[in-house]
Amino acid sequence: MLSNNLLTENILDQVARLPADWRATLDQPELQNILATLAKWLDKECQDGAVIYPAAPFRALELLPLQKVSVVILGQDPYHGPDQAQGLSFSVPDTCPAPPSLRNIFKELELEYPQPPLPPSHDLSNWGRQGVLLLNTSLTVEDGLPASHAKKGWEQTTDALLMNLAQQSTRPIVYMLWGAHAQAKEALIQQQAQCPHLILKANHPSPLAARRPPVPFIGCGHFRLANEWLTQQGATPIQWFATGA
């Protein structure tokens, strides 16, 4: 059975459909050159038989205009199995079993909210619609090969998106930086942020790191901390247990 999350469309065609505020970032000449090179390489990889995910690499941006971002959850690269990656960090369809990192996210949510109003949805789309930017630093991956599209141009692209978000947003933003890869973006955020922001740091939710020092993910309290801070700033908290449909 053919996976339904395969990349088949040229990424430049997808960029052209993005909300205007995100598209303005990607329309900068330097990024246009990077994306054009990346698009050509991805097209060639697909023509040569590579299986690449996801079908919609920019879905995090499609769901959420720049000026509505209130939380950023930064991942590394998409899940590399069939029917998993959706273009949203850590999210999979509800028809797909929760990967280990997502299971640990749910464990942390259950610690912070012992009596959830609803079971958590594997599909985190509703977080995106509420203001959570679920962004990976690389937006595509080859089947079965984690980090296979690192250093192909995606990092410059997503760095520019983070930089322009920090510069242009008129809203308070919480940045959840889990693991060393995400935390490497802290300096960029701090240097560029023009509005109130809160940076929360912990280990990655992967089973390899979630319970280890220096800051275990399990027990970090980030979801409650984010909502408390947003409320203090006069912003709307996130309903973490809303369904993803």
Dist CA 75 CA 84 (whole Å): 15
Task: Give the residue from 55, 234, 208, 21 showing the smallest Cα distance to 133.
Answer: 21
CB count in 10 Å sphere of residue 170: 8
Known catalytic membership, residue 21? no
Buried b (16+ CB within 10 A) or exposed e, 18-34: bbebbeebbeeeebeeb
The DSSP symbol for 100 reads: H
65 preceded by cis ω (within 30°)? no
Catalytic residue among 27, 43, 77, 83: 77
Dist CA 185 CA 4 (whole Å): 32
Query: Is residue 59 classed as helix, strand or coil in its secondary structure?
Result: helix
**Encoded amino acid at 26, one letter:** L
Give catalytic residues, as residue numbers. 77
